[in-house]
Amino acid sequence: MSRLVPYLLLQALIVIATFLGLRLLQPSDPEDFALSGFSLSEDGITRPVTLPHFTSSRYSLADPPLYIGTFTFKSGDAGWSVFLPRFSNAVEVAVNGVVVLDSRRDANANRPDRNTPQIAAIPSSLLYDGSNAITVRLFVWGPLKGFLDTVYVGPDAALRPAFETRTLLFVTLPVAFSAWQSILAVILAIMWLMRRREPVYGVLAAAMVLGVIQAFMPPPVPPTTVSRLAGVLLASAPIESALIVVFGVLFFGWRWPRYGMLLFVPGLVVFVIGLIAGPPLPRILFLLLGIPTVGISLFLMAYVTAAALVRRQDAASFTIGCAVTIVLTCWVHDMLSVFEIVTNERTFVSRLSYSAMLVAIGAGLTWRFARALNQVDSFAGQLVARVREAEERLKASFVREEARARAAALANERTRLMRDLHDGLGGQLISIVALSERGQEGATITDAARAALKDLRLVIDSMEDIGGDLMLALGSWRERAAMQLRPHDIALDWRVATPQGLPLHPELRPWHIIQIVRILDEAVTNAVKHAAARHIAVAIETRDDGQGPYGVISVADDGHGFALRGDGQAAGASQTARGLCNMRNRAVRCGAVLDLSSDASGTRVRLQLPQVFPDSDAATG
């Protein structure tokens, strides 16, 4: 409510301003040359009248009213004309009995909704010095009563400016508006075609198309053709105004109620009657149904805009509301003239103001459309910015995550390396220290140091990425084992069943390799140190029991073997026992199965590799 009161006050101001504006903008006529005293012959009665004058009948084609007057001409004044600012529907002007102007020849001049002026030059040969007779025959075919404004006769130079002004205002300007309207109609129709879900554009386009047809279709002039076209064209105004109400309702976001279609009924009735019945019935219906419909539509539109403004004040509702008020005021102004409450003129401004309003609405819609496009653009821009932001955040978190993963991997690797060094190199170095301190010399220390070096090489070797091919690790091991065996004169028989050797294990990690190689080392060391073997045979093959390939590595020597207890543990030397225990543990840790068999003819170590190496150390700790 707080919005409504100032809005209504403003509309009241606009009404007053519009009335004042219409008064002030009334084109001035050359009053020096006005002729207003005429004698009128109408319906067989002759009486003196003063122009402007309304006829009593709405339809007088058979016996049109005849205005007879006189004017004074002074010879020497060159180029006189007769100027009729406003008449309806058509006039035939004669000077001294000779017709100088017949407006029926210009179909558009006779439209009652336009205020078309007419001017005609009076041939100088027709004029007498002194008094001259002028007759104006007024043809009236409705829908309103006939009207004849003051007639002006005088030098053309004095009359023409007023004529030009009226032509500009009431002929050229409406045509310009209509042209503009037709362009907007095309644009809006295209918008609607591309955006069917927004009927608001379609409705406005339809209203504009109707308006354009009405403006440019030349109305037939009775009685030459009794056309249904005239009747049909009468329907345009009520239908147009109803369409504008539909537009208003949709534009402000309401649903168009089904009973709202009643608003179209008067226009359609006029249309249908215009199709089937001849004049003057459509005109009468237009007067009774059409004009009130236009008024009701304007009031509804005013209400809709006011309601929209109360709900949500924005530039669009405010502007359209003011425009509706202006049109409504113009309509009331015209009604005052129609009902002869204001008698001194008949200048209809509804159509002009309505056209102007439509053009304003169309411009507003286009503006809104452009703004929507801008919003889409800026939305897209925001989206791009946000996506970039998110991307950067993601990248940052990815970098963080990567760093964390790298740190974790490094820590894992360090732990593993520590354990590997502790298992091998550390212990061997310590035993070197111990042996040196006891003053031992020669082979024992050398062996321990060589073992330490071998282990160091193994740890370094295992760190290299071998792409899951265990054969690459075994290749190096073969070299080291051969080097180890050569001084002992032990032959290493290396047999690989296929060129590929072992299946690829993408999940193979350095610590798997270290465990396997240490198992093999232990087997070879046992054969050298404790079994007094002469030959060591290493066999590498790939088996497949139907559940995927797996590798088997076996190390067999021809030494004297050792006794195994019932549980598979070595019963003999404690060092061998510990070595075997280590081998088993290592096999378990990388998911392999270790088989040991030993007798007097030699020892066989069979290592069956898993199909998939375990990801985590099964015996951590």
Partner 1 sequence: MTDQGETGEAITILLVEDDAPTCWRLQDALVKAAYEVRTAGSLGEARSALAASAPRVLLTDLRLPDGHGVELIRETRRRFPDTEIMVISALGDEESVISAITVGATGYLLKDAFPTDIATTVRDLVAGHSPISASIARFIVRRTQNSAEPPPGPALNTAKLTPREIDILWGIAKGFSYAEIASHLGLSRQTVPGHIKNIYRKLEVHTRSEAVFEAVQQGLIKL
Using CB under 8 A, list all residues that contact partner 1.
449-450, 453, 456-457, 460-461, 464-467, 469, 471-472, 474-479, 483, 486-487, 494, 496, 499, 501
Nearer to partner 1, 228 or 450 (CB): 450
Nearer to partner 1, 66 or 456 (CB): 456
Q: How far is the CB of 476 from partner 1 (least distance, A)?
A: 5
Q: How far is the CB of 537 from partner 1 (least distance, A)?
A: 14
Nearer to partner 1, 221 or 556 (CB): 556
Q: Which residues contact 333 (CB under 8 A, 6 or more apart)?
A: 18, 19, 22, 349, 350
Contact call for residues 510 and 475 (beta carbons, < 8 A): no
> For 51-168, where are the alpha helices, taking DSSP H only?
156-167
Nearer to partner 1, 66 or 496 (CB): 496
Q: How far is the CB of 459 from partner 1 (least distance, A)?
A: 10
Nearer to partner 1, 156 or 461 (CB): 461
Nearer to partner 1, 307 or 482 (CB): 482
| Nearest residue to 267 via CA among 225, 247, 304, 297 | 297
Q: How far is the CB of 457 from partner 1 (least distance, A)?
A: 6
Contact call for residues 583 and 594 (beta carbons, < 8 A): yes
Distance CA 443, CA 203 (A): 108
Q: In this structure, how many other beta carbons lie within 10 angstroms of the beta carbon of residue 493?
A: 10
Q: How far is the CB of 486 from partner 1 (least distance, A)?
A: 6
| Nearest residue to 151 via CA among 38, 300, 231 | 38
Nearer to partner 1, 41 or 476 (CB): 476
Q: How far is the CB of 202 from partner 1 (least distance, A)?
A: 59
For the chain, how many helices (H) and strands (E)? 16, 18
Nearer to partner 1, 223 or 467 (CB): 467
DSSP 3-state of 141: strand
Q: How far is the CB of 461 from partner 1 (least distance, A)?
A: 6
Contact call for residues 283 and 143 (beta carbons, < 8 A): yes
Q: How far is the CB of 453 from partner 1 (least distance, A)?
A: 6
| Nearest residue to 609 via CA among 488, 498, 521, 517 | 517
Peptide bond into 30 cis (omega under 30): no
> What is the residue whose two structure tokens read 């591309």?
194
| Nearest residue to 165 via CA among 115, 107, 121 | 115
Q: How far is the CB of 363 from partner 1 (least distance, A)?
A: 59
- Helix axis angle for 236-251 and 315-338, nearest 10°, is 160
Q: How far is the CB of 473 from partner 1 (least distance, A)?
A: 9
Distance CA 521, CA 523 (A): 5
Peptide bond into 223 cis (omega under 30): yes
> What is the residue whose two structure tokens read 């309509």?
331
The H or E element containing residue 185 is helix 173-194
Nearer to partner 1, 476 or 542 (CB): 476
Lookup: tokens for 315? 């530039």
Nearer to partner 1, 194 or 460 (CB): 460
- Helix axis angle for 350-421 and 199-216, nearest 10°, is 150
